[in-house]
Chains A and B, each alone.
Chain A
Amino acid sequence: MHRFRFVLYRPLQLLPVLFGISVITFVLIHAIPGDPVRTILGPKATVEAITRVRAQFGLDKPVVVQYGLFLKNLVRGDLGRSVVYKVGVVELVAERFVATAFLLGYGVVLALALTVPLAVTAALFRGRILDHLIRVFSTAGLGFPAFWLGIMLMILFSIRLGLFPVSGYGEGFLGHLHTLFLPAFSIGLALSAVLTRNLRASLLAELDSDYVSAARAKGLSPRWIFVRHVFRNSLIPTINLLGVNLGWLIGGTVVIETVFSVPGLGSLIVKSIFARDYMVVQAITLTFACATVLVNFAVDVVTVALDPRIKL
């Protein structure tokens, strides 16, 4: 199992990146103009109250000490309190995380449900009219603003046809599936444009390779070759691309959650910026960055599991 040895040491390589993430987030929040204490206490705060709160948050200490404190609290799972919601930021983020994760997962599933048939069709009908139509879809799909697509789908399917709720998250698993269909589809469509291109190209590359000719010469049925060998091998670059695109996908989710008022991290970060609830902005930025790093690690593991030739 030495192929999987990287699962043990890769997390150590990730530590500097996680450290860098924490530094950037810390610097960003400290670069905000204006006094955070005044923001918390309001304009009528007395000088004593301000001094007291400054000391309480360690804001009277040098920046490096403040970063140390921030890191210490971070390790203990304390990221401060939300000014608006009056609860611990970690609690708030944990509560909202589920909706975002659900929406992201749903979006990826819908994207794959579109990608696989489209890419397979394009590859099988290479150079024919269907292939060209799918190519137009994957080129145009790249430029579809997800938030606009979301509103258009909302106008058509929610307002005109009344098939889906206009906003929210729904009750229970089926409720989530129903309510989040349009937001997930809006995210998934743009993603499927990227993935279709990639999967089609790798399907064609595999179809042209020598082992396929060999399998054909051996008399294996084309269907068996395609399903068993070509498709499986082509999936690896596509899964990699999915990992690479996760950051981009999260960005889409932030906007889409705002469009559909989904109670997730994305809509929360936007609201918190306008409410100057910086502790929440900081925590969500950290969460998204760490999630990206971890998912990319998971993608590496899956890649190695799928293809015995790959060593990391």
Chain B
Amino acid sequence: MTATHPTGQRASHRAIAALPRRLGLGGQPMALYLGIAMVAFWVLLAIFAGAVAPYEPNAQDLKSFLQPPSLAHPFGTDNFGRDVFSRVIFGTRIDLVMGIMGVLWPFILGTTLGSIAGYFGGIVDIVLMRILDITLAFPFLVLMIAIISVLGAGLSSFYIAITLVGWVSYARLVRSQVLVLKSSEFILAARNLGYGHRRIMFRHMLPNALVPSIVFSMSDVVLVILAGSSISYLGLGVQPPTAEWGVMISEGQNFMTTAWWITAFPGFAIVFVAFGFSLLADGLGEKLGVRE
């Protein structure tokens, strides 16, 4: 791994810190607020999808199929006459949940294994780190695809695959934090007070060790949504007719010569969700003093 140059940290810090002042935001991290606003928008859209969307996501209208964007159908209609706008909105539910759950399980597994490895060290640490090395040797998506090919296509297989592959990042982050904290004074004090392993771990170490993982998990949501929609595009994840963005892009590709809108709009949705989470991750990292 490349070590971050200390002067580099300060230099980029200054560059980012200059941005909000330039925009008259009084030194507050603009990326963070913009990120929070964008993510909040998508979360609200997912919750109120039923109220916002003009049509049901799977309602077919065979009289008006493959219609270009118009006032009645802002994003046009697909080959079954389904309203692309409504499908993109309902897709928010699927893809956001996919992104969040797909981060949560690896987070839990990785944090558990990483803190055990870091705290106890010894043979447990050695074995876990070797498993980590081997997992990292596989290209992320290829290993996921191989696991899904064993389990069969579907969303639950996707979650299992991403957990088995994605835990390594969290394990590494937490382990390195725990290793540093282990020899810090307040942990030594806690140990001298005779606190048990569990109390030290959960009450004293993890709250401090989790900060980098939480920042990373925000940018990880982007990677997971990209992986999930890619795998659904390939036909190995969420299955049609569910309105998932990757599935919609895949269905739209069959009509790309005549109806670009079926493919275009779900992709823009992915781009904007991802942008929101990237900004949130950047802003949060800046605020909490964590660099990836």
The answer to whether A binds B is yes
Q: Which of B5, B263, B274 contacts A202 (CB 8 A)?
A: B5
A240 and B2 within 8 A (CB): yes
Separation in Å of the A113 CB from the closest CB of chain B? Answer: 23
Q: What does the 1/0 interface line of B240-257 toward A look like (CB < 8 Å)?
A: 000000100100110011
Count of CB-CB pairs between chains A and B under 8 Å: 178
Query: Is B120 an interface residue, CB under 8 A from the partner?
Result: no
Once the chains bind, are B146 and A28 in contact (CB under 8 Å)? yes
Name the A residues within 8 Å of B25 (CB-CB). none
| Binary per-residue interface labels of chain A (239-269) against chain B in the complex, 1 for a CB within 8 Å, 0 otherwise | 0110000111111101100110000000001
Chain A nearest CB from B73 CB (Å) reads 19
Q: Is the interface of A mostly helix, strand, loop or mixed?
A: helix
Q: Distance in Å from the Cβ of A84 to the closest Cβ of chain B?
A: 14
Q: Contact between A289 and B138 (Cβ–Cβ < 8 Å)?
A: yes
Contacts of A281 in B (CB 8 A): 146, 149
Closest B residue to A255 by CB, please name it: B230
Which chain B residue has the least Cβ–Cβ distance from A303? B2
A28-B147, A202-B5, A208-B11 as given contacts; A155 in contact with B141, CB under 8 Å: no
Inter-chain contact A255/B234, CB cutoff 8 Å: yes
Task: Please tell me if the beta carbons of B138 and A288 are within 8 angstroms of each other in the complex.
Answer: yes
Task: Name A269's closest neighbour in chain B (CB-CB).
Answer: B145
- Chain A CB within 8 A of B33 CB: no
Q: Does B222 contact A (CB under 8 A)?
A: yes
A201-B12 in contact (CB<8A) = yes
Is B233 on the interface with A (CB-CB < 8 A)? Answer: yes
Tell me, yes or no, whether A209 is within 8 Å of chain B by CB: yes
Residue-wise, chain B 129-165 has the 8 Å CB interface mask toward A (1 for contact) of 0110111111111110111111010000000000000
Number of interface residues of A (CB under 8 A): 64
List residues 198-220 of chain A with CB under 8 A from any CB of chain B.
201-202, 204-205, 207-209
Q: Which residues of B contact A144 (CB under 8 A)?
A: 271, 274
Contact partners of A207 in chain B: CB under 8 A: 11
Give the size of the chain B interface in residues (CB under 8 angstroms): 63
What residues of chain B lie closer than 8 Å to A202, measured between beta carbons?
5, 8
A28-B147, A142-B274, A148-B263 known; A16-B142 Cβ under 8 A: no
With contacts A145-B229, A248-B140, A292-B139 taken as known, whether A204 is within 8 angstroms of B8 at the C-beta atoms is: yes
Say yes or no: is B19 at the interface (Cβ < 8 Å to chain A): yes
A31 interface residue (CB < 8 Å to B): yes
* A10 within 8 A of partner (CB): no
B55 at the interface (CB under 8 A from A): no
Task: Tell me if B133 and A147 are in contact (CB < 8 A).
Answer: no
Report chain A residues within 8 Å CB of B130. Answer: 16, 20
Known: A143-B275, A273-B236. A288 touches B142 (CB 8 A): yes
Chain B residues near A173 (CB-CB < 8 A): none
Docked pose: A59 CA to B11 CA in angstroms: 61
Bound complex: CA A32 to CA B135 (Å): 19
Which residues of chain B from 77 to 113 have a CB within 8 Å of any chain A CB?
A: none
B68 interface residue (CB < 8 Å to A): no
B18 contacts A by Cβ under 8 Å? yes
Contact B137 A292 (CB under 8 A): yes
In the complex, 19 of the A-B residue pairs with CB atoms within 8 angstroms, ordered by the A residue number, are: A20-B131, A21-B137, A25-B146, A28-B146, A28-B150, A127-B15, A139-B279, A142-B219, A145-B229, A145-B271, A147-B233, A147-B246, A159-B257, A201-B11, A240-B2, A247-B138, A251-B140, A259-B253, A278-B149
In the complex, besides A29-B150, A259-B253, 16 extra interface pairs with C-beta distance below 8 angstroms are A21-B137, A21-B138, A139-B278, A140-B275, A142-B222, A143-B270, A147-B246, A201-B12, A204-B8, A208-B10, A247-B142, A249-B139, A251-B227, A254-B142, A288-B138, A292-B137
Q: Which 10 A-B pairs have the closest CB atoms?
A: A143-B274, A251-B141, A205-B8, A20-B134, A148-B267, A247-B139, A250-B139, A204-B11, A273-B149, A205-B5
Which residues does A use to contact B, with CB under 8 Å? 16-17, 20-21, 24-25, 28-29, 31-33, 126-127, 131-132, 139-140, 142-149, 151-152, 154-155, 159, 201-202, 204-205, 207-209, 236-237, 240-241, 246-252, 254-255, 258-259, 269-270, 273-274, 278, 281, 284-285, 288-289, 292-293
Residues of B within 8 A of A (CB): 2, 5, 7-8, 10-12, 14-15, 18-19, 22, 130-131, 133-143, 145-150, 152, 219, 222, 225-227, 229-230, 233-236, 246, 249, 252-253, 256-257, 260, 263-264, 266-267, 270-271, 273-275, 277-279, 282
